[in-house]
Amino acid sequence: MSEPISIDIWSDIACPWCYIGKRNLEAGLAATASDEDAPQVTVTFHSFELSPDTPVDFDGDEIDFLAGHKGMPREQVEQMLARVTDVAAQAGLEYRFDLLKHTNTVKAHELLHFAKSKGLQHEMEERLMSAYFTEGKHVGRIEDLAALAAEVGLDADETRAALQADEFLDAVRADQAQARAYGITGVPFFVIDGQYGISGAQPAEAFTNVLRDLWAKRGAEQPADA
C-alpha cells in the first residue's frame, strides 16, 4: 500500500482566494475519489498572516481596509471585490463583503492549531472561513472564537484557556518560519509531498491531474510484492 500524498496548505482564514482554493482542492479530491485506484491524501493547514499589523477591532469595512492597506482607489477596490465574489460564487461560496468584519487573525491561527491537536482542524478551518466570509462574524476575539470552536465540537472553556495562554502561538510562528524557508510570499500555497509547490486558487482540474500523476508514479515505484 502506497503512503498517502501529503498536501500542506499555507493560508489565512481572512484570504478570499484561500477559501476558493480550499473549495477547488476539495472538488479535485472528489473527482479522484471514484478512481479504481483513488489517490490517498492527507491535508494539513498551516498559518500565514496576510496583515499581522491589523487591529482586532478594525474601524471600517473591507473597502476601507484595502484602500488604506494597498493604497488603491475605492472604486478599484469595489471592482476587485466584485470579481472575487463572482469567482467565489463559481466555487459555490456566497461572499458577503458588506458584512465582513476585518480583524487580526493570529488568534484564529492559534485556534486552528488547537483544533488540530484535537483532530478537528479541517472542521475548524471551514467554520472560520464560513463565519468570516459568508456570515459577517467576528473571528479575532477570544470569546467569539471559543463560541465557533464549540460549534465544531471543541470545549469552549478549554479553547478559551488555550487562546488566553498563547498555548499555540509558537506553532503559528513555526508555520510562518517554514513559509519563509519555502519562499512563500502569498497564499494560498499548496506544498505537495514536500516538493511540489502550487500557488494560488488553481482550478479543481489542476489538483486532480497532479494527484493522479503522483499516485500513478507512486504505484509504479512499489515493489511487486508490496
75 found inside a domain = yes
Asked if the model's pLDDT at residue 146 lies above 90, the reply is yes
Output the pLDDT for position 14: 97
226 found inside a domain = no
Strand partners, 6: 42
188 found inside a domain = yes
DSSP string, 121-152: HHHHHHHHHHHHHTS----SSHHHHHHHHHHT
30 found inside a domain = yes
- Structure confidence by residue, pLDDT tens digits, 48-81: 999 999 999 999 999 999 998 888 899 999 999 9
Output the pLDDT for position 226: 47
pTM for this model (two decimals) = 0.95
Q: What is the mean pLDDT of the chain?
A: 95
Output the pLDDT for position 223: 58
Q: For residues 87 and 74, is the Cβ–Cβ distance under 8 A?
A: no
CATH number at residue 119: 3.40.30.10
- Structure confidence by residue, pLDDT tens digits, 25-36: 999 999 999 999
124 found inside a domain = yes
> Which among 187, 158, 211, 166 is positioned nearest to 27, based on CA atoms?
211
- Structure confidence by residue, pLDDT tens digits, 159-217: 999 999 999 999 999 999 999 999 999 999 999 999 899 999 999 999 999 999 999 99
Asked if the peptide bond before residue 188 counts as cis, ω within 30 degrees of 0, the response is yes
Output the pLDDT for position 120: 98
49 found inside a domain = yes
71 found inside a domain = yes
CB count within 10 Å of CB 45 equals 24
Q: How far apart are CA 41 and CA 12, in angstroms?
A: 21
Burial of 63 (0-12, 13-18, 19+ CB in 10 A): buried
Q: Which domain holds residue 22?
A: 5-221
36 is written with which cell numbers? 479504481
Burial of 53 (0-12, 13-18, 19+ CB in 10 A): exposed
141 found inside a domain = yes
Structural domain total, the chain: 1
